[in-house]
Amino acid sequence: MPPLPLPASRRAFLESLAAGSVAWLLSARARGQAPAERKLGIALCGLGNYARGQLAPALRLTQHCELRGVITGSREKGQAWAREFGFPEKHIYSYATMARLIDNPAIDIVYVVTPNSLHAEHTSAAAWAGKHVICEKPMANSVADCNAMLAACRANRVKLSIGYRLQFEPHYRELKRLAREQDFGPFRKMTGGLAFTIRQRVWRIEKAMAGGGPLMDIGIYCLQAACMAADTSGEAHPTFAPVAVQAREHPKQRPDLFRDVEEGLDWRMEFANGATGEFTTSYNGGMDKFRAEAEKGWYELAPAFQYGGLKVTTSKGPPGVGMPPPSQQAVQIDDFARCVKEGRESPVSGEMGRRDMVIIEAIYRSIAQGGRRVEVKV
């Protein structure tokens, strides 16, 4: 996705912080407790586009944590980051020296932002160094890798969260509220898609690195939104899933480019209560939309999945969606820092990342079996 400008002063960020955060702080004060003031230290593992363009700026806005180290293949890049973000050079690690993080009490959390195929290795390395982990989506390239990551985090008693930034975004909080309170009735039909065009070879279109094509990278957002809308508890439970999926791969316009991953695909999700989701994802085109329909109305986002500027329309006119934060990532990261401080599980846990990989594997299995309906068992 093209990077969006980060608006905003710290003040604007604070003003627009999720009401929940403010309420938490006030209630802690009211109970006479000192709010947990100590900022946790974060080390970014992988200093590519997303780390540079989104996560590093977000970590200047977070209240509960800050950037204190990096894990990178380039010592020079690490030194430049250390100068820019004001942490000591001894907080620069390579992928091979990650185990030494165990001796660094200034780093509490490792944020894994490397290509998908490396998520499992880097998450496990961080866990064995005793660090809590945020891992970017998709959690890994297979359910088996997700299981290994969960086991490593359990064995070391560290928390694991996935970089599902939109779960904290006001338009999606409103979607979850509608799913729970059913102003329009329960959502019955979800549709939409996410697509952009890739014109040259990058790791995102190499199966060994990316695990798959656009489904792994961007279709996963549609899948997440559909589960949020279909889960009538409104809690976006981490193992809530469709009962079955069916999928069809798009014919390739550029088989030379998309050698071993799909260029695009359509899929259908079938939920236990009869609700359905029908989506498309592609690296050849442009689309960014999500719509949830119920008997008495509908809720639509377009664009639906960007870093900012989401637009909502509903059958009842503009809904009372809270002001979007200047950085979705700052809210997401701060929530995890609070989870660590308060000893609670992240709402976007490793179990949720694993759930999504189970669904994705079922979608690929359906394609491999000529579009057959495949049951999903999380």
Residues with catalytic function? 137, 221
Phi and psi angles of residue 254, each rounded to the nearest 5 degrees, phi first: -130, 70
Q: What's at 333, amino acid-wise?
A: I
- The smaller minimum CB distance to ligand NAD, of residues 79 and 313, is found at 79
- The smaller minimum CB distance to ligand NAD, of residues 55 and 376, is found at 55
Does position 137 interact with ligand NAD (CB under 6 A)? The reply is yes
- The smaller minimum CB distance to ligand NAD, of residues 172 and 184, is found at 172
Q: Which residue in 48, 88, 185, 274 binds ligand NAD (CB under 6 A)?
A: 48
CA dihedral 24, 30, 31, 33 (to 10 degrees): 70
- The smaller minimum CB distance to ligand NAD, of residues 304 and 374, is found at 304
CB of 258 to ligand NAD, least distance (A): 17
Does position 196 interact with ligand NAD (CB under 6 A)? The reply is no
Does position 167 interact with ligand NAD (CB under 6 A)? The reply is no
Distance CA 149, CA 239 (A): 16
Radius of gyration of the chain (CA): 20
Q: Which residue in 67, 98, 110, 113 binds ligand NAD (CB under 6 A)?
A: 113
Does position 227 interact with ligand NAD (CB under 6 A)? The reply is no
The interface mask with ligand NAD, positions 55-94, x = CB under 6 A, is ------------------x---------------------
Strands 244-249 and 374-375, bridge-based pairing: antiparallel
CB of 136 to ligand NAD, least distance (A): 4
Does position 50 interact with ligand NAD (CB under 6 A)? The reply is yes
Q: Which residue in 91, 132, 159, 165 binds ligand NAD (CB under 6 A)?
A: 165
Q: What is the DSSP string of 86-103?
A: T--GGGEE-GGGGGGGGG
Q: What is the DSSP string of 3-64?
A: PPPP---HHHHHHHS-HHHHHHHHHHHHTTPPP--PPEEEEEE--SHHIIIIIHHHTTT-SS
Give the interface segment with ligand NAD, choosing from 115-123, 181-189, 239-247, 316-324 (CB under 6 A).
115-123
User: Residue count at the site for ligand NAD (CB under 6 A)?
Assistant: 18
Does position 122 interact with ligand NAD (CB under 6 A)? The reply is no
CB of 194 to ligand NAD, least distance (A): 11
Q: What is the largest CA-CA distance in the chain?
A: 64
> 98, 122 in Cβ contact below 8 A?
yes
Give the interface segment with ligand NAD, choosing from 112-120, 274-282, 294-302, 352-360 (CB under 6 A).
112-120
> 38, 352 in Cβ contact below 8 A?
no
- The smaller minimum CB distance to ligand NAD, of residues 202 and 272, is found at 202
> 364, 138 in Cβ contact below 8 A?
no
> Which of 162, 116, 167 is closest to 305 using CA atoms?
167
Distance CA 353, CA 376 (A): 15
Q: Which residues bind ligand NAD (CB under 6 A)?
A: 46-51, 73, 113-116, 118, 136-137, 163, 165, 203, 217
